[in-house]
Amino acid sequence: MALPRRRFHAPTLMLAGSILHADPVVQIVLALLFLGSVASWAIIVEKILSLSRLRREVGQVEAFARHQVKPSAEPSRLLSSMLSARDEEARALGDDLRGRCAAAMRSAYVAELRRWDGGLPFLATLASSAPFIGLFGTVWGIMRSFSAIATSNDTSLAVVAPGIAEALFATAIGLAAAIPAVIAYNLIRSALRGYGHRLGAATTLIARTSHPVAF
């Protein structure tokens, strides 16, 4: 049983050794892509948890819009900000009350939704730039391989393989960083857009009552 394990780990160890002895430019490229991937996954995990919390808050807003009664649980920040904006507008205005209250609540939930956009610009930037950073590492590794061939006048695999391995690994890391980032960005943006539509519908229902509901 020990022999298959050694065979399984040998390519990994060879690749790790190749990276450790790689050209400094390729090492910098790989380090940037690795750090970008780690940051991307940290943002993705944080957004998954945040969207779960946002889903509950939107559900509370929709429940209030349907029943117009104080929620049994502590009102969420989203609902509190919307109702505070509505009540402030209701106290200040006497005419066109519903339309102005709806506009005030809409501004409140749009401001709240902007808080959930944090990290998305980084995901978009990483998704668009990581493949090109990886491509730069690939081109550099191939150029290094050709330079090694010209220097040694030897086209054997031992001379060519290290640079090619570095080049291909840079491409793989670039894609591994970009693909999850672009998928997560699109899914999160779509989810936020959907919650925005739901909050818009709930705002219309809430604005139909002109009396404030105190918490």
Q: How far apart are the first and last CA of the chain?
A: 67
pTM for the structure as a whole: 0.70
- Considering its fold, how many domains does the chain have in total? 1
**Residue 37's pLDDT band (boundaries 50, 70, 90)?**
very high
- Which residues have a Cβ under 8 Å from the Cβ of 37 and sit 6 or more positions away? 126, 130, 173, 176, 177, 180
> Of all residues in the chain, what percent carry a pLDDT higher than 90?
21
Using alpha carbons, list the distances in angstroms from residue 112 to 22, 103, 150, 200, 205: 47, 14, 60, 13, 19
Q: Is residue 215 part of a domain?
A: no
Q: Is residue 96 part of a domain?
A: yes
Q: Is residue 111 part of a domain?
A: yes
Residue of 116, 114, 119 whose CA lies nearest to 36: 119
Mean pLDDT computed over 15-35: 77
Q: Is residue 214 part of a domain?
A: no
Distance CA 162, CA 63 (A): 61
Q: Is residue 38 part of a domain?
A: yes
Look up the domain containing 142 and give its range. Answer: 2-207
**Residue 209's pLDDT band (boundaries 50, 70, 90)?**
low
Q: Is the pLDDT of residue 170 over 80?
A: yes
Q: Burial code of 115-134, b = ≥16 C-beta within 10 A, e = fewer?
A: ebeebbebbeebbebbbebb
Q: Is residue 212 part of a domain?
A: no
Q: Is residue 184 part of a domain?
A: yes
Does 90 or 195 have the greater pLDDT score? 195
